[in-house]
Structure 1
Amino acid sequence: MPYPKPRPPKYKLQVQEDETDHRLWHDVRAPDGTLLVFDDEGEARARLEALYPVLVGLERYAAGPKRTRVIVMARDDEDESQD
């Protein structure tokens, strides 16, 4: 029995708004409060740069700590079986 092909990953954006506390990361949300989720990593990175151009620019030139990130969302086995 062949295994089902895994679905491609989804990506979300996170930002660290308080540079003094490196443990606090917040999900980036749309104006309506929903979580911004992307199917393509490049699209996610472009949106992150559009929303936070100064922070991304500082990271690019190593002028400060990393305060933005694109992460892969974990999937539940239960989520996969419901599709």
Structure 2
Amino acid sequence: MYKGAFCDALCLRYGWTPPHLPTHCVCGSNKSIEHALNCKCGGFPSLRHNELRDITADLLTEICPDVQVEPTLQALS
């Protein structure tokens, strides 16, 4: 975990507002900690999901060596 992520995690643990938190989200609403953790536009739900997916895949490779993570879908543009 790099320094910025550590500071943010520490703030979240103790209920403090992380420094440098933007005032508005890309979806247009005011940004709060709860909004940042739940808004699908900001990407935090996807980041948390992907982290859990990767940890699970790493643990399962110890039991079954042919575990693979599905590739990310490309944009349709």
Greater percentage in helix: 2
TM-score normalised by structure 2 residue count: 0.22
Q: Which has the higher contact order (CA 8 A, sep 6+)?
A: 1
Greater percentage in strand: 1
